[in-house]
A and B are shown apart, each in its own frame.
Chain A
């Protein structure tokens, strides 16, 4: 489709797609991990605060 050098063109674009997808996936996984950690820590903090103000 792209002449005698189509292999180079396809590998180049494939590398672009793979690298950008890898960054996107890393950001997504990082976000999920941080959201879980933050929720746990904030819940612990809320329990501690409610425990300390209890009579």
Chain B
């Protein structure tokens, strides 16, 4: 099957129907294993103690908050460059999920910060840039709802998404470019992770579980969006027939 075949909503729908049960099963298994490892196998941190358990939700959520936006950026390119019909559907479905995972990162980070830093919030570069990402998600969701015609909404949001993607490298490198209260990167480093393997493996398995969860929710949201567009198309068709009948009757 070629990628272009998935542009057909029926083909896409059939494929996701077959994929979703497997994805849901894999998500439950991996998330369960990640939670078990995080809570019952991974040791307490020598400095942070048991509060490090928050990391197993905070870090995957933060990664997914950024991953969702990176995916939306690719989808925005898909809308402009390849004009793939599912690009906008994918971006629109990913936005609320990205917003939720970013919100989870903000809440869990704040609850981790209080016992470790003595405060829930500081306006440092990392925290502020992630808050901006969350606000951008909300703005994009509002824009999709404000423009009624899907093709126009797709173009308008794609432009905003592409402009907003400048925030992704800022989030990633904020801890290197500025002095932040947030700790520097400890997993995705060129010289290898600085985190101990006894915590790294539970974190990676937890991250895989959260990513599978995101993928499952994203596919369901895409299917919903396709149905919403079909409902809209049928309503527009019915309304135009009604208008045509009125014109004929008055003529």
Contacts and interface: CB of A to CB of B under 8 A. Distances in A.
Interface of A: 2-6, 8-9, 11-13, 15-16, 19-20, 22-24, 26-27, 30-31, 34-35, 37-38, 41-42, 44-45
A52 to B, nearest CB: 11
A29 to B, nearest CB: 10
B23 interface: no
Interface string B201-232: 00000000000010001001101100110110
Interface stretch (B51-59, B81-89, B172-180): B51-59
B152 interface: no
23 contacts: A3-B50, A3-B51, A8-B111, A8-B112, A8-B114, A12-B107, A13-B53, A15-B104, A15-B107, A16-B57, A19-B107, A20-B104, A22-B100, A23-B96, A23-B97, A34-B228, A35-B227, A38-B227, A38-B230, A38-B231, A41-B234, A41-B235, A42-B234
Majority secondary structure, B binding face: helix
Given A16-B104, A41-B238, A8 B224 contact: no
A31 B227 contact: yes
Nearest to A6: B50
Contact-residue size bin, chain B (C-beta under 8 Å from the other chain): 20 to 34
Given A9-B50, A16-B104, 16 more contacts: A3-B50, A5-B115, A6-B50, A12-B107, A13-B57, A15-B104, A15-B108, A16-B108, A22-B100, A27-B217, A27-B224, A34-B227, A38-B227, A38-B231, A42-B234, A45-B238
A22 B100 CA distance: 10
B128 to A, nearest CB: 21
A44 B237 CA distance: 12
A9 B228 contact: no
B133 interface: no
Contacts of B231: 34, 37-38, 41
B43 to A, nearest CB: 13
Nearest to B105: A16
A38 B217 CA distance: 21
A1 to B, nearest CB: 8
Interface string B14-52: 000000000000000000000000000000100001110
A11 B111 contact: yes
Contact of A45 (B57, B100, B234): B234
B160 to A, nearest CB: 22
B158 interface: no
B72 interface: no
